[in-house]
């Protein structure tokens, strides 16, 4: 039995001065590095979009960032262009101890579909492969930290709980986008799903 720390999207574009900056996004890095010592497995996720990704507002004629469109798989927020594959914005924050990671899982690499969760793309069925990796390593319990609390962290936590993992979120080691009350909504969903908010 092993526990795993899942570090969600601690990438330059989600930190101050990044393309989709999350307030205080860089303030969690030292705490995440320190927490790594307490886990048998450390996994980092990396938002990893092609330039023509359908979640980018500038790939939709006349669309403004943070508006919502209907995709074949459901509602999708249109974001400023961020975490483009191979760019500095997609790289991990320079101070994140990425050397400690056993596994880096990339997500959102298909142009036609976004992936907030580390487990399933936004159609809620296309797997990223992370579940199989964790199960084959005997991981039963997960602690999540990273960016952003109300999008990629929350979607990952909800999927993990649905898959039967024990899940807790280190709220002190997360920061939120909070788009029109999204933080409160997602906190309530996580609580209802049995996710421990630590
Ligand atoms: C994220 C919006 C778009 C996140 C990723 O990491 O929470 N949010 N892509
Ligand atoms: Zn993204």
- The tens digit of pLDDT for each residue in 89-145 reads 999 999 999 999 999 999 999 999 999 999 999 999 999 999 999 999 999 999 999
Q: How many angstroms does the Cα of residue 35 sit away from the middle of ligand 1?
A: 22
The pTM of this model reads 0.98
9 a catalytic residue:
yes
* Nearest ligand to the C-alpha atom of residue 148: 1
Q: For residue range 34-86, list pLDDT tens digits in order.
A: 999 999 999 999 999 999 999 999 999 999 999 999 999 999 999 999 999 99
Q: How many angstroms does the Cα of residue 1 sit away from the middle of ligand 2?
A: 32
Report the nearest atom of ligand 1 relative to the CA of 83. 9
Burial level of 28, CB count in 10 A (0-12/13-18/19+)?
buried
At residue 1 the predicted structure's pLDDT band, cuts being 50, 70 and 90, is confident
Average pLDDT over residues 162-179: 98
Helices marked H in the chain = 29-35, 130-136, 154-162, 182-192
- pLDDT computed for residue 43 by the predictor: 98
Any bridge partners for residue 60, and if so which?
none
The span from the CA of 30 to the CA of 24, in Å, is: 12
Report the nearest atom of ligand 1 relative to the CA of 47. 5
Percent of the chain past pLDDT 90, that is, above it, reads 99
The span from the CA of 178 to the CA of 114, in Å, is: 19
């Amino acid at each position: 039995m092993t526990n795993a720390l899942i570090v969600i999207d601690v990438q330059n574009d989600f930190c101050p001065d990044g393309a989709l900056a999350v307030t205080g996004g860089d303030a969690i890095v030292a705490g995440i590095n320190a927490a790594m010592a307490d886990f048998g497995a450390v996994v980092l996720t990396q938002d990893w979009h092609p330039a023509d990704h359908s979640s980018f507002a500038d790939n939709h004629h006349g669309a403004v960032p943070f508006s919502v469109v209907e995709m074949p798989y459901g509602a999708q927020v249109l974001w400023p262009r961020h975490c483009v594959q191979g760019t500095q914005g997609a790289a991990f924050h320079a101070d994140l101890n990425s050397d400690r990671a056993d596994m880096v899982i990339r997500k959102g690499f298909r142009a036609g579909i976004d992936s907030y969760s580390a487990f399933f793309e936004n159609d809620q069925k296309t797997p990223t492969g992370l579940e199989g990796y964790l199960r084959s390593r005997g991981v039963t319990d997960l602690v999540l930290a990273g960016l952003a609390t109300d999008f990629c962290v929350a979607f990952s936590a909800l999927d993990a709980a649905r898959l039967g993992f024990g899940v807790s979120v280190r709220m002190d080691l997360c920061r939120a986008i909070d788009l029109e009350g999204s933080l409160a909504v997602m906190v309530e969903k996580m609580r209802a799903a049995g996710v421990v908010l630590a």
